[in-house]
Amino acid sequence: MPTSSSAPHVVIIGGGFAGLYAAKRLGREPVSVTLIDRRNHHLFQPLLYQVATAALNPSDIAAPIRSILRKQRNTRVILGDVTAIDTNRKVVTMPDGELAYDFLIVATGATHSYFGNDQWETFAPGLKSIEDALEIRKRVLLAYEAAEKETDPTKRSALLTFVVVGGGPTGAELAGALAEIGRHAMERDFRAIDPTSVRVILVEGIDRVLSSFDPSLSRSAEAQLREIGVEVRTNCRVTSIDARGVTIGSETIEAATVLWGAGVQASPIAKYLGAPLDKPGRVVVESDLSVPGAEDVF
C-alpha cells in the first residue's frame, strides 16, 4: 500500500482518544496522515457502562472516524487490524498488505487482564467495546427475565445477584448502575419478582475502591454506593469464577451474572516494537513519548 504524497507520512494505529486527537492536530501540518483502526468508529469509552446497563444506545457514544476527520484533506482512514510492526523497514503489516511510514504513532490502548486466569472471561466479561457492552446488557436483562419465570427461591436469588469484580471507575460505575436499574428503572416492570430485591456486590482486592483517586474521594464513592444498596467488599480477592458465580477464599457467592473490571493490560501490539515493557505490557518511553531506539515511533 504505497502512499502518493511526497510529504512525510505519519501512520497512526488506533482511533481512540490519543490516536484521534493526534490525527486532528496533524491535520494542520504539512504531512500525510493515515489512521488505522479495526473499527470504523471512535468510542467515548467513559460512558460504555451506560450502554451496558441500557441507559444509552451504542450510537449515543460512538461516532464514525471518517466523519470526524472528513474535512482534513491530508488524512485518510483505513479499516484494518495491524498484525506486526517492522521498525527497521518502517512498515506496519495488515492481513491485506504492508503500509510504509515515516513516523508512527501507536495508540492502541488497553485490553482486559484476568491475571493469568483467562478461563474466567467466559463467565465474567469485561467492558472495553460496544460489543462488550451489548453482551453485558444482554446478560443483565436475560437474568431478570429468567428470574421472572423461576419458581425456586434459591435459583431466583442467584439470578438477581450481580457481582462486579474490581473497584476502579468501571467497576464502581457498573455496580452503581446495576443497583439503580433494579431499584428504579425496573421497579414496576415485573409481576413475579421484586426488582428492588436485587443484590449487587462490588469486590475489590485492596482496602478501598477508586484507589487511583484521593482517599477522601474513595470514601465518598463507597458511601454513595452503599447508600444505593451496593455491597462493597474490600480486601477481598477472587479465587475462582465459574457458571455458579464467584469464590472469595472459602465463600462462594452464587450469581448468574459476574462482570469484570479488575485489571487491564497494554495492547499486545506493543511487543512488536522491540522496546522495554513494564509488567502490564506498556512500552517504557522517552520523555517525548518516543520509543527507545526508534526515534520515529511514538
Q: What angle do CA 115, 120, 126 make, to 5 degrees?
A: 80
> Would residue 173 show up in a list of annotated catalytic residues for this protein?
yes
**Catalytic residue from among 150, 173, 180, 222:** 173
Q: How far apart are the first and last CA of the chain?
A: 22
Q: And the C-alpha cell for 132? A: 462488550
Contacts of 255 (CB under 8 A, 6+ apart): 158, 161, 162, 163, 201, 245, 246
| Backbone phi and psi for residue 212, each to the nearest 5 degrees, phi listed first | -80, -5
Question: In angstroms, rounded to a whole number, what is the distance separating the alpha carbons of residues 5 and 11?
Answer: 13
Report the C-alpha gap between 281 and 270 in whole angstroms.
7
Residues labelled catalytic: 173
